[in-house]
Structure 1
Amino acid sequence: MSDATRPRARIAALLASLIPGLLAGCLPAAAEPLRAVLELYTSQGCAVCPPAEHLFGDLARRPGLLALTFPVTYWDYLGWKDTLGHSLFTDRQRAYATAHGEVRIYTPALVINGGAALAGANRAGIETIMQETRAGGLRVPVRTEEQGDRIVVEVGADPNPPGRADVWLVPLLRSRAVAVERGENRGRVATYVNVVRGLYRLGAWTGQAARFEAPRSAIQVGEADSYAILVQGALGGQPGRIWGAAKGPGL
């Protein structure tokens, strides 16, 4: 090798050693598998809800968690009608209470993986349950993607299925701030993440690998700009344990 070509060879060798590391640094990190679905039942008319909503925003940013906000309607009589509330979400919370033998519902309430509720601002209790879920995760694999004007959902098999479950497409509004003008929170700005705008049942899952499709128009309700997928047990028509979930774009 001549003296003129030696510098070029050294530069080429250096680049060859650096490129794999540079490429690896450009690749997106693999998403942590979902291990918990958190449902916050809240209301713009609930004076004690803002701390729970703030905590929920922090939880929503944690990897491995799917956070869903369900605004309810039963505090509307206090002087401010929740602008995001829906009776469907109130019914869902009541159904959870019935399934778990509870006699009342309240806000802010947090339901984890379809289990019993706890106070939405109970940071210590929430952290304890989060630690319990850290070792496991949601047992049923779920994958979703958009293909043209269709949303395609693939639910994996389970050799020991936990029972019959329904597969749900959940339209979401990823972020919304609401200025409350009347009622107990008058003058406050309520800030929400992943606000549920509807529940769209795709079909039943019985333990076998299954594929579901829905038109993308199914999520175009209430200003929704993303969606989630839930595989949730059905207990006599009541919502049961959540066995699998997936996040849509931007979550």
Structure 2
Amino acid sequence: MRLSTRISTFCAHAVLLMSGVAVTAHAAPERTCSVASPAHRVALVELYTSEGCDSCPPADNWLSRMNRERRSDIFVPLALHVDYWDNAQWRDRFAQPAFTARQKYLSSTGGGNIVYTPAVFVGGRELRGWSNATSFDERVQQLDAQPASADIRIGAQTSASGTVAFDARIDARTPLPADAYAYVAVYEDGLHSDVKGGENAGATLHHDRVTRKWIGPVPIVDGHAQITGTYAASGMEQGVVAFVERASTGEVLQAADLPRCGEAGDAGSGGAQPVR
């Protein structure tokens, strides 16, 4: 499906809240975990997908496989479900209008005027050959070979009630473009849907790295930005991604991933370190 233009802006010096994320103070955490981005650039991989699209399940499975096999200091995957496939037959429960707007924005910064699913963007640029392992690896390695222009540190605190408080800090390593902004996404793994209508009727779909909450764009002032928020533990594998993006080009300058903050040794492939 092909539809066609640009994501909304924000209030300066304020965190833009979407999908129910709350910015607040937190007390008495039970566990604390953190992760820091490396000295090289990490590629953000964005899959635009929909449960209403019959060509999307193979792409969803591809993202899940890549997530299992990856190193988090090489690339960070996210699945963003768009809403332009939603209709009376089936509505994707993970879809958000903001993700449709983001896909249009990234497409327009790359000179495109249409959007479709499945589509993959690496570092803010569309990669049409994403299903070709050589093409994907070359794009990721090209980005990883570049020095990082920003440091990202994400911390998370899990309370006895199961609420997770997170804090993402962005600090410039070199002068950032004036139009560089920070974002945070909260994702879930291990999700399933029994589709009752539409192109995937009768199928059970499996999803990982599904973006459920979104914050941004947040201004980076004098080389620094901080984003805090909370989410309720759902029983699914959850985590937080933070990244820095240049608004005029859509280029993602750095990314970091903090997976679920659980027991020691249970931090997942993202390399989160429990702090006692």
For this structure pair, what is the TM-score category when the shorter chain's length is used for normalisation?
A: 0.7 to 0.9
Q: Which moved more, 1:193-202 or 1:131-140?
A: 131-140
**Conserved in 2, the CA contact under 8 Å of 1:145 and 1:153?**
yes
1:80 aligns with 2:90: yes
**Conserved in 1, the CA contact under 8 Å of 2:37 and 2:151?**
no
Q: Which moved more, 1:120-129 or 1:180-189?
A: 120-129
What is the distance in 1 between the residues matched to 2:229 and 2:59? 34
Query: What's the offset of the Cα at 1:181?
Result: 1.6
SS at match of 2:55: coil
SS at match of 2:100: helix
Partner of 1:56: 63
CA deviations 1:181-201 (Å, max 9, x no partner) are: 211112222111111112213
What is the distance in 2 between the residues matched to 1:59 and 1:163? 33
**Conserved in 2, the CA contact under 8 Å of 1:151 and 1:215?**
yes
CA deviations 1:65-87 (Å, max 9, x no partner) are: 21100011111237321121111
Query: What's the offset of the Cα at 1:90?
Result: 0.8
What is the distance in 2 between the residues matched to 1:146 and 1:79? 39
Partner of 1:35: 42
Of 137, 142, 153, 2:152 maps to 142
Q: Gaps spanning 5+ residues in structure 2: where?
A: 1-34, 261-269, 271-276
> Which structure is higher in helix share?
1
Partner of 1:69: 79
What is the distance in 2 between the residues matched to 1:221 and 1:234? 32
Partner of 2:54: 47
Please tell me whether Structure 1 or Structure 2 has the larger radius of gyration of its CA atoms. Answer: 1
Q: Gaps spanning 5+ residues in structure 1: where?
A: 1-29
**Conserved in 1, the CA contact under 8 Å of 2:37 and 2:256?**
no
Of 98, 101, 106, 2:111 maps to 101
SS at match of 1:167: strand
Distance 1:131 1:76, change over 3 A: same
Distance 1:211 1:88, change over 3 A: closer
SS at match of 2:105: helix
Distance 1:167 1:221, change over 3 A: farther
Code of the residue aligned with 1:98 in structure 2: it is S
Query: What's the offset of the Cα at 1:160?
Result: 3.5
Query: What's the offset of the Cα at 1:174?
Result: 2.5
Greater RCO, CA 8 A, separation 6+ = 2
Partner of 1:204: 219
Of 247, 252, 259, 1:242 maps to 252
Code of the residue aligned with 1:53 in structure 2: it is D
* 1:152-231 alignment runs, 5 A limit: 152-201=167-216, 203-206=218-221, 208=223, 210-216=224-230, 219-220=231-232, 225-231=238-244
1:114 aligns with 2:143: no
What is the distance in 1 between the residues matched to 2:143 and 2:227? 30
Aligned residue-pair number = 216
Q: Which moved more, 1:121-130 or 1:187-196?
A: 121-130
What is the distance in 2 between the residues matched to 1:222 and 1:95? 31
What is the distance in 1 between the residues matched to 2:235 and 2:188? 6
Structure-2-length-normalised TM-score: 0.68
What is the distance in 2 between the residues matched to 1:179 and 1:88? 24
Structure-1-length-normalised TM-score: 0.75
Q: Which moved more, 1:45-54 or 1:153-162?
A: 153-162
What is the distance in 1 between the residues matched to 2:130 and 2:85? 16
SS at match of 1:156: strand
Code of the residue aligned with 1:36 in structure 2: it is A
Q: CA RMSD in A?
A: 2.8
What is the distance in 2 between the residues matched to 1:36 and 1:110? 12
Code of the residue aligned with 1:60 in structure 2: it is N
Query: What's the offset of the Cα at 1:157?
Result: 2.1
What is the distance in 2 between the residues matched to 1:150 and 1:171? 11
